[in-house]
Each structure stands twice: as structure tokens, then as C-alpha cells.
Amino acid sequence: MSDTTRQTVLLHVNGREHALDIEPRMSLLDVLRDELHLTASKLGCNRGASGACTVLVEGERVNACLALAVQFDGHAITTLEGVAQDGHLHPPQAAFVAHDGFQCGYCTPGQICSAIGMAREFRRHLPSALAADLAAPRLRMPPSPAGASRRWVCRRRERHRACSSS
């Protein structure tokens, strides 16, 4: 491809700024793995179903295999490599270690990023999915800001068949 088909993007990945000259059709996952050599996120199914490619963009969960990198010009992106702080594991990372939640480990980075994003959604009163665990104590929402709605919201309703009837 000629240089005229490339585009310069500025990605803020794991707290570092990267000015990259990329093809507009490159997925965010390809840029993270091939250009920035951040290999925790994996290509599982190339359809967004496995979650192995999940990263956080501005704190929101994104399937990096389905997103074009140029969409995130100027945005903050966090991969598993960037969630630990000052040498301390992020709580979901620590929980995976403590409870042997790794299975084969291939999709673990995406699961941890997804758990971090889901917890953030919950704190913002926007959980995307909740499942009843009859053996667990009742799930309680954190206190909501004054005037905020306390109803459960599925922001991904169009993709979740189970949510379409609610």
C-alpha cells in the first residue's frame, strides 16, 4: 500500500502516548499486538464472542478485534499490561490468582479487563449484565447520586437476546 492510504493516530495506551502511522483498516487488536507489542490481548474468534481481545477504552469494555484503531485516536486505552499499579495487582487480577481462575490462560487477560469494566459500569449504575447466584448474598447497588435513576439498565440490549424482553 502507498503511504497516502495510511493515517496517523495518537493512542494513549497504558498511560503512554503513541503516535502511529497505520492503515485505516487495522483493528485495534492488530495495532496493540503488532505495532506496540502488547500481547496480553489475544485473537480468539475474530467475531467478538470469545472476549479474549477485550480491552478498556476510556474505562469501557471494547472487543479490540472488531474495532478499528483509527476510531480511538486520542483516547485512553488500557490493556492487561496496564492495570496493575505500583507493582500491585488490580483486584480482579489478584482474585484470578487467588482462586486459580486461569484455565488455560489464553482468554484470561480479556476476562480480567472485562471484569474491571463491568465493575466500573456497576459503580456508575449501568451494569450490562447481572446473573442471580442463589448461594450468594443479595447483590446491592452502591448508593446512587442524588436524583439518579436506580433502575437496572442494559446498555447492550440490542446484542443481548435475554435483555430484549425486559
pLDDT string in tens for the chain (166-residue length):
555 689 999 999 999 999 999 999 999 999 999 999 999 999 988 888 889 999 999 999 999 999 999 999 999 999 999 999 888 999 989 988 888 887 788 889 999 999 999 888 888 877 665 555 555 555 555 565 655 444 433 343 333 333 333 3
State how far the Cα of 141 lies from the Cα of 151, in Å rounded to an integer.
10
The CATH number of whichever domain residue 7 belongs to comes to 3.10.20.30
Residue 165 within a domain: no
pLDDT digits (tens, 9 = 90+) for 115-155: 999 888 888 877 665 555 555 555 555 565 655 444 433 34
Neighbours of 160 (CB within 10 A): 13
* Domain range for 15: 3-160
The count of structural domains within the chain is 1
Which distant-in-sequence residues (6+ apart) come within 8 Å of 160 by Cβ?
128, 129, 154
Give 75's DSSP letter: -
68: β partners: 27
Q: Whose CA is closest to 61, among 126, 16, 11?
A: 126
